Amino acid sequence: MPEAAQYILSLDQGTTSSRAIVFGRDGRPVSSGQQEFPQIYPTPGHVEHDPEAIWSSQLATARRALENGKLSARQIVALGITNQRETTILWDKKTGTPVANAIVWQSRITAPVCERLKKEALEETIRQKTGLVLDAYFSATKIAHLLDSITGLRARAERGEILFGTVDAFLMWRLSGGNLHVTDVSNASRTLLFNIHTLDWDDELLRIFNVPRAMLPEVKSCSEIYGHTTKDLLGESIPIAGCAGDQQAATFGQGCFGPGEAKNTYGTGCFMLLNTGSTPAVSKHGLLTTIGWKIGDTTTYCLEGAVFIAGAAVQWLRDGLGLIAKSPEVEQLAASVKSNDGVYFVPAFVGLGAPYWDPNARGAIVGLTRGSTKAHFARAALEAMAYQTRDVLDAMQADAGVALSSLRVDGGATANNLMMQFQSDLLDVRVLRPVVQETTALGAAYLAGLAVDYWTDFRDLTRNWVLDREFAPQMSIAERDDLYSGWKKAVKCAQHWVD
């Protein structure tokens, strides 16, 4: 009997849905499963997830991916994990039960703590060690918030009874039946507790944020066998061999292996990452320095522009305003008007991330006239993704001192051709959309596959990148400048809104 084909299974735990995708050697998806799970908004600006919903949806999609492809778990040679980053979960070491809902990366609940720490003039130390800005986005203040708001939890954490993990670590713990308390350098680099130079948790940062070391996971590279799944979950024990935060995984999945290569992902938020090679670049323009990945002893760093709300604004048109029934309908609605007619939408629902870092900004729609229609709302929501990307690209080019001639894109919202064309026009760069847009899952699959020699090296992976469509700039300079200056004015209206 011929030997059954072998594959890599990738788990992609995103902000709004869990996905599992099986990939073959050509980097093409063979089968998949996807499941949305509830978003919890306890108070304005605060966002939570139920960790059990994260786990059950992720496990269900992994099983579905195997079923849909009529695959046996024996055909899966390794499993890779990628995840929404920064989102913070604490669980009981003995029972594996989460002690509270996860605090999601978007949550602003710890913004006041960050304000207080800023007054203590700690920002520069934090920035120098972590590459990050002092913002509620990252995990450290979320951990302390949980430890201080649940009676007795801090003492238990100090005794090593309570564990912390970003979503990758929680999944690894569950997948291994509680054998692994492990994260990878790319996820660790988003916590504000990890020193990106020494590649270790940092005692001074642990003191600043008041987080006990005993609760932190062991930090490993992005491509190695960490352990195995328990047999009961998928039918076989599968090596867990790759792990990276979703934006780093997407950068890897896009084949941005060399310095100067960049990608932008358009999902719930927008995240542009530029590979800066083996030395961390320092931004002077509001970008983050982050670890891209570590393979063997080689660490690759990236500059990152993190935009909090992108596709989520389209979800808001759908769920909050009821203007559309499904996200893709936004394209037709937006195309029904020729321009924004002066209407701008700044979707600062949870403040503004890069390059503004204004936790007190809030959403604004400006430039409305009696002639404005829902089509203008749709157009303005799409254009907002492109404007925010322009803000970030301008910062990145200023930091890197080079102009990008093309940008690789991925994520759910890149299906929108109108937005992609507008993006190219506004940036004046070629926008390249690959055939496989599930680059996040693909990146995690690549990291796992490299660890078990399913793929040999980067050359194997580079060959797999195939262009679906290129969008070339067509707009005049005058129109581009005019549109963008309107956006800058609109951003000013949204900034510093909350007292």
Ligand X SMILES: O=P(O)(O)OC[C@H](O)CO
Binding residues (CB under 6 A) for ligand ADP: these are 14-17, 267-268, 311-312, 314-315, 327-328, 330-331, 411-413, 415-416
Q: Is 221 annotated as a binding residue?
A: no
Q: Is 360 annotated as a binding residue?
A: no
Q: Residue 379: name the closest of 326, 429, 341 by CA.
A: 341
Residue 412 binding: pick among ligand ADP, ligand X, none (C-beta 5-8 Å cut-off by kind): ligand ADP
CA–CA gap between residue 343 and residue 463 (Å, rounded):
43
- Pick the closer one to ligand ADP by CB: 228 or 390: 390
- Pick the closer one to ligand X by CB: 107 or 247: 247
Residue 247 binding: pick among ligand ADP, ligand X, none (C-beta 5-8 Å cut-off by kind): ligand X
CA–CA gap between residue 339 and residue 490 (Å, rounded):
16
Any contact of residue 85 with ligand X (CB under 6 A)? Answer: yes
- Pick the closer one to ligand X by CB: 191 or 423: 191
- For residues 358 and 396, the answer to whether their CB atoms sit within 8 Å is no
Q: Is 315 annotated as a binding residue?
A: yes
Any contact of residue 246 with ligand X (CB under 6 A)? Answer: yes
Q: Which two tokens stand for residue 255?
A: 């084949």
- Pick the closer one to ligand X by CB: 316 or 455: 316
Q: What is the DSSP letter of 249?
A: H
Q: Is 390 annotated as a binding residue?
A: no
Of 28-36, 236-244, 265-273, 384-392, the segment contacting ligand X by CB under 6 A is 265-273
Q: Which residues are CB-neighbours of 213 under 8 A, at least 6 positions away?
A: 201, 203, 206
Residue 302 binding: pick among ligand X, ligand ADP, none (C-beta 5-8 Å cut-off by kind): none
Helix (H) or strand (E) holding 163: strand 162-165
Least Cβ distance, residue 381 to ligand ADP (angstroms) = 8
Residues 101-120 interacting with ligand X (rule: CB under 6 A) = 105
- Pick the closer one to ligand ADP by CB: 209 or 316: 316
Any contact of residue 292 with ligand X (CB under 6 A)? Answer: no
Q: Is 311 annotated as a binding residue?
A: yes
Long-range CB contacts (< 8 A, 24+ apart) of 93-98? 93/160, 93/161, 93/162, 93/163, 94/161, 96/173, 96/174, 96/178, 98/51, 98/52, 98/170
- Pick the closer one to ligand X by CB: 266 or 344: 266
Residue with nearest beta carbon to ligand ADP: 412
Q: Which two tokens stand for residue 102?
A: 């996860």
Of 150-158, 193-201, 266-274, 288-296, the segment contacting ligand X by CB under 6 A is 266-274
DSSP 109-139: TTHHHHHHHHHTT-HHHHHHHHS--S-TTSH
DSSP 3-state percent helix, strand, coil across the chain (nearest 5): 35, 25, 40
- Pick the closer one to ligand ADP by CB: 315 or 397: 315
Least Cβ distance, residue 440 to ligand ADP (angstroms) = 7
CA–CA gap between residue 240 and residue 109 (Å, rounded):
33
Torsion angle of alpha carbons 182, 186, 189, 191, nearest 10°?
-60
- For residues 309 and 348, the answer to whether their CB atoms sit within 8 Å is yes
Q: What angle do CA 484, 488, 490 make, to 5 degrees?
A: 110
Q: Is 299 annotated as a binding residue?
A: no
Any contact of residue 269 with ligand X (CB under 6 A)? Answer: yes
Task: Determine phi and psi for 303, rounding to 5 degrees.
Answer: -95, 140
Any contact of residue 14 with ligand X (CB under 6 A)? Answer: yes
**Could you tell me how many residues of this chain bind ligand X (CB under 6 A)?**
13
Q: Residue from 267, 305, 355, 367 that binds ligand X (CB under 6 A)? A: 267
Any contact of residue 15 with ligand X (CB under 6 A)? Answer: yes
CA–CA gap between residue 183 and residue 342 (Å, rounded):
46
Any contact of residue 223 with ligand X (CB under 6 A)? Answer: no
- For residues 294 and 242, the answer to whether their CB atoms sit within 8 Å is no
Any contact of residue 142 with ligand X (CB under 6 A)? Answer: no
Least Cβ distance, residue 15 to ligand X (angstroms) = 3
Q: Residue from 23, 33, 71, 86 that binds ligand X (CB under 6 A)? A: 86
- Pick the closer one to ligand X by CB: 306 or 491: 306
- Pick the closer one to ligand ADP by CB: 65 or 330: 330
Any contact of residue 416 with ligand X (CB under 6 A)? Answer: no
CA–CA gap between residue 57 and residue 80 (Å, rounded):
16
Using the Cα atoms of residue 115, residue 121, residue 124 and residue 129 in order, give the sign of their dihedral.
Answer: negative
Helix (H) or strand (E) holding 63: helix 51-68
- The 301-340 site mask, x for binding ligand X (CB under 6 A), equals -----x----------------------------------
- For residues 433 and 410, the answer to whether their CB atoms sit within 8 Å is yes
Least Cβ distance, residue 349 to ligand X (angstroms) = 13
Q: Residue from 10, 268, 276, 283 that binds ligand X (CB under 6 A)? A: 268
Q: How many residues does the chain have?
A: 499
- Pick the closer one to ligand ADP by CB: 314 or 447: 314
- For residues 165 and 92, the answer to whether their CB atoms sit within 8 Å is no
Q: Which residues are annotated as a binding site for glycerol?
A: 85-86, 137, 246-247
Q: Which residues are annotated as a binding site?
A: 15-17, 19, 85-86, 137, 246-247, 268, 311, 315, 412, 416
Residues that bind ligand X (CB under 6 A): 14-15, 84-86, 105, 245-247, 267-269, 306
